[in-house]
């Protein structure tokens, strides 16, 4: 059975771009940069504005500004939600910072978010490293006989996850009793 490509979506006005963005926002929770890239790609596939890059971007920016003024899209809320989800997953502060920067979050909002994370949590990197160890079954979650053998490998895993050597050393040096105390705080 052969499937034909679907017909191109017709975009003839700013309202069509707004409808397209609302459909996308209904399905996903993007940052402004992600939404802008998505809309640009979609509009580029059509004959709207004869593919003049500046005019397409102006139209898209007007739609995004309108959505932002209505409160439909908000990068501040986006960064709060994403940073909390990343912390639960066990991301280090460095990895959270880089992930949000790749999503197009500006420097001031990024600094504010990182400061808020550090105010709310005593040592977020330490607890995130424990989460990574638990998920990957490394460090203090290994059997005692294998811990020394795999110490350098475990340090490498934590380093690639964005944790400092001092944090990795502290987490990998925990014994089972100390680990149970810290697990209660997670």
Confidence band for 49, pLDDT divided at 50, 70 and 90: low
Interval 104-126 mean pLDDT: 91
Interval 99-107 mean pLDDT: 93
Q: How far apart are CA 82 and CA 61, in angstroms?
A: 23
Answer with the residue of higher pLDDT: 138 or 47: 138
First to last CA, the chain: 52
Confidence band for 6, pLDDT divided at 50, 70 and 90: very low
Interval 53-68 mean pLDDT: 90
pLDDT at 8 over 80: no
- Kindly give, in sequence order, each residue whose CB lies less than 8 Å from that of residue 126, ignoring residues fewer than 6 positions away: 167, 170, 171, 182
Q: What percent of the chain has pLDDT over 90?
A: 64
pLDDT tens-digit profile of 124-178? 999 999 999 999 999 999 998 889 999 999 999 999 999 999 999 999 999 888 8
Q: Which 3 state secondary structure label does DSSP give 51? A: helix
- The angle subtended at Cα 57 by Cα 51 and Cα 60, nearest 5°, is 110
Domain ranges (residues) in the chain: 14-70, 75-120, 124-185
Q: For all residues of the chain together, what is the average pLDDT?
A: 88
pLDDT tens-digit profile of 130-145? 999 999 999 999 998 8
- Which helix (H) or strand (E) segment is 25 a member of? helix 14-27
Residue of 149, 147, 143, 139 whose CA lies nearest to 171: 139
Confidence band for 3, pLDDT divided at 50, 70 and 90: very low
The residue length of the chain stands at 186
Q: How far apart are CA 7 and CA 11, in angstroms?
A: 12
């Amino acid at each position: 059975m052969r499937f034909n490509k679907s017909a191109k979506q017709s975009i003839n006005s700013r309202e069509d771009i707004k409808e397209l963005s609302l459909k996308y926002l209904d399905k996903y929770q993007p940052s402004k940069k992600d939404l802008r890239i998505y809309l640009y790609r979609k509009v580029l596939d059509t004959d709207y504005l004869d593919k003049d890059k500046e005019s397409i971007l102006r139209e898209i920016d007007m739609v995004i500004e309108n959505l932002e003024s209505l409160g439909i899209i908000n990068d501040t809320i986006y960064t709060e939600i994403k940073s909390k989800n990343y912390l639960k997953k066990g991301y280090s502060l460095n990895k959270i910072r880089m992930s949000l920067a790749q999503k197009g979050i500006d420097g001031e909002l990024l600094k504010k978010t990182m400061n808020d994370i550090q105010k709310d949590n005593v040592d977020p990197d330490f607890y995130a490293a424990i989460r990574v160890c638990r998920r990957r079954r490394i460090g203090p979650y290994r059997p005692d006989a294998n811990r020394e053998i795999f110490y350098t490998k475990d340090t490498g895993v934590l380093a690639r996850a964005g944790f400092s050597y001092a944090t990795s050393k502290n987490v990998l040096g925990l014994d089972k009793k100390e680990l149970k105390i810290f697990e209660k705080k997670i």
